[in-house]
Each structure stands twice: as structure tokens, then as C-alpha cells.
Structure 1
Amino acid sequence: MAVEMEEKPVIKLAAICGSLRKASYNRGLLRAAMKMCRDSVIEGIEMEDIDISELPMMNVDLESNGTFPLVVEEFRHKIRGCDAVFFASPEYNYSLTPLLKNAIDWASRPPNAWADKPAAIVSVEGSGKSGQYHLRQIGVFLDIHFINKPELFLNAFEPPKKFDDNGDLIDEETRKRLQDVLLALRAFTLRLMKGKSY
């Protein structure tokens, strides 16, 4: 008798970049991750790039009777509708970027859109790990469940060259490490999704 294989659900993954720089290496990591998912190098993930650059600065005066400005409502809807979140952000002054913090604050307004979302973060920076650890600390309060390992901190200034002049990832070792992060996030997300079905 043939044994039917359990079909795994497709994970909707929201990709968020904390940098506005045109040739951002962090956005280069996101592009590489999205290409892996699109080309089925990583199967079972649909990854959507969520633009946070147009969000106004968080201000409760912009809220009215439980509603938000349209661009904020759309962003919150996308976060609520995803299964997991993939952050790529540099470190600014031992912390995360103002752009990313602003997005996190908007989606945290009641009802908290981040609650119970599995997540991973990767970073390209000169040195240091404080930005990632600060984001993980914020995640504890907001009930974001970050994978513990593997971690991906990347110093773009150490040889060999990891990105081209357009900010596209060209280093195969980094590509493999990025793939490992995506696989770990997929496995963790599926585990949490299975737990919710009971």
C-alpha cells in the first residue's frame, strides 16, 4: 500500500529591510534570499518584500477610533497575514535603525500585529552585534519568536568581496549561510504552525 506523504504548507514570509541606502548590502541579502525562494533553492516559502520607507513617523495623533493612516493599515495587514518575518538590517549606534524601529512600533499598536510571529534577522555591518541583540530584546516584549541559530552577522569589509557595486551578493559562502538561516526559519515556523493546529 502506498503511503501518502504529508504535504507541508507554503510559508508566507514577510521580508523587511532596515536600510534606505540604494546599494544597501542588507537589501542585497534580502534579494538573494528572495531569489532562493523564487528559484526553489528553498522550497515551501513565498517571500514578499515589504516596503517600510513610506510609513510616517509613529504618532498616536494619526490614529482615529482604532484606525490608522492607509499606508500604516496596509503594512499592519501584511504583517498580520504573514506566517513569519525575515529582517535584514544594519546596526546604528549599538541599536537597530530608526526606519526599522518605526515600522516595529506601528505594527505593535493594539492589536499587536507581531504577536506569535516566528522571525529571523541577518545583518551586514562594519562590526558589532548589538543591533541584532537589541531587536531580539524588543521581540521578547512583542512576542516575536526569533530563531536562535544559525546567526548571520556579516562584515562586508573583510575579504573576500561579498557584494558587487550594485549591492548584490556574490560570495558563495555567505549564500550558503543565508540558505541555512532560511531553512532554520522554515523548520521553526512549520513546527509552530503544527503546534497551533492541535
Structure 2
Amino acid sequence: MAAAAIPSSVIKVAALCGSLRKGSYNRGLLNAAIDLSKTIKGLELEYVDISALPLLNTDLEVNGTYPAAVEAFREKIAAADSLLFASPEYNYSVTAPLKNAIDWASRPPNVLADKTAAIVSGGGGFGGGLSQYHLRQICIYVDVHFINKPKFTLNVFAPPAKFDSDGNLQDDATKERLKAVLLSLYAFTLRLQCKSA
């Protein structure tokens, strides 16, 4: 009988931003998360750009293959153990680019299945919280497993200033909250890998 696979202690996380805007606060959160991940042994974050993905159209699928940008994106997701979504809120929901990326990734074979995930959101009001609930609903069908705590939403307009003029996260308390999300995601991913092994 073959021995069970030993889970990897290096967790690779694909970081996706739902906003395509250059100065996006949500992209700023991901940039900060990438910097913070360098202080966590065994955690590797890579930003995965979704801006080049065409709108989902199954006419673009030819003989089981996808457009080059979609194939490259799907390969990045398939190679990751986990996902970190930065999900701004547009009209009480996730953004169109993020939903489009999820739809492409879930085309057969579904490269999202059984991955762990966490969500961070920045914005006004509830700090993007409503988009997080919708994103969780969407990802139930594609078999993504989210951490439950800590929850991370950020009202970027409430004092003190969270970002500098270049869009870099500068608030230490927010950085600590963001690091707590990464630590939780890392631990949750290792736990699920051990159970599956």
C-alpha cells in the first residue's frame, strides 16, 4: 500500500484583486499582504493579474483549450494551494472582473476545487463587507473553502489615514489585522492538507 502524501509546509497563495484600477486600495492591501508574507515562514504569496482575461465566452474554448491569457491564469491558480481575494464592493456585490476570473477558473477541469481561501476588502461604509458574503456564496459551488476568522473589512476613509499618497498601506494596526488573516489562512490550509493526506 502506497504511503500517504506528506503535506507541503510551503503554502503557495494566489492573490487576486477584484479592482483593476491602478491606485486601488484593495490592490494596496494585496501589496501589503505580499510584503507581510515574507515574515511568515512557509507562506508564499504571488499576485495574479486578471486584467487580461476576456469576458467568459465558451465559443473561445477550442478542442478543450482556452485563450492564452486564460490558460496562463488557470495554470497559476492550479499551482496554488490557496487563494487570497481582495474584493471591493460594487453595487452590493463582487466586481465583474473578479466574477469573470472565477468563472474561467471553474471551467472544466475546475482548478479552484478544494483550495482554501481568505478575503480582504477595503472601501467606504461597511468596508466591502457585502461583497465578501456574495463571494462566499459564489465559491460554495466551485468548492473553495474559506477561513471563518478573522474577518477583514476596512473603511479606508475613516481616520487615521490607512494609505499614503502612493497607495501603500501605512497603518500599523491594519497591518497586524492583515497578518492575522495570513496566519489563519496558512494554518487552515495545513490542517486541511493533513486531513486529506
Q: Does 1:106 align with 2:83?
A: no
Q: Which amino acid aligns with 2:151?
A: E
In the alignment, the residues of structure 1 paired with residue 165 and residue 152 of structure 2 have an alpha-carbon distance, to the nearest angstrom, of 21
Shift of residue 21, structure 1, vs aligned partner: 1.3
Structure 2: gaps of 5 or more residues: 1-5
In the alignment, the residues of structure 2 paired with residue 193 and residue 136 of structure 1 have an alpha-carbon distance, to the nearest angstrom, of 21
| Contact 1:23 1:165 (8 Å CA) reproduced | no
2:93 to 86, 92, 95: 95
Shift of residue 166, structure 1, vs aligned partner: 1.2
Q: CA RMSD in A?
A: 1.4
Percent of residue pairs bearing the same amino acid type:
60
2:3 maps to: none
For normalisation by structure 2, the TM-score amounts to 0.93
In the alignment, the residues of structure 1 paired with residue 56 and residue 189 of structure 2 have an alpha-carbon distance, to the nearest angstrom, of 29
User: Which 4+ residue blocks in structure 1 deviate beyond 3 angstroms?
Assistant: none
Shift of residue 65, structure 1, vs aligned partner: 1.5
In the alignment, the residues of structure 1 paired with residue 111 and residue 96 of structure 2 have an alpha-carbon distance, to the nearest angstrom, of 19
Shift of residue 45, structure 1, vs aligned partner: 0.7
How many pairs does the alignment contain?
A: 190
2:9 maps to: 9
Shift of the 20–168 alpha-carbon distance from structure 1 to 2, 3 Å rule, reads same
Shift of the 104–23 alpha-carbon distance from structure 1 to 2, 3 Å rule, reads same
Q: Does 1:193 align with 2:189?
A: no
Mapping for residues 52-63 of structure 1, pairs under 5 Å: 52-63=50-61
Q: Which amino acid aligns with 1:22?
A: K
| Contact 2:7 2:194 (8 Å CA) reproduced | no
Shift of the 116–60 alpha-carbon distance from structure 1 to 2, 3 Å rule, reads same
Structure 1: gaps of 5 or more residues: 1-5
2:25 maps to: 25
Mapping for residues 74-153 of structure 1, pairs under 5 Å: 74-128=72-126, 129-153=129-153
1:171 maps to: 171
For normalisation by structure 1, the TM-score amounts to 0.93
Q: Does 1:72 align with 2:101?
A: no
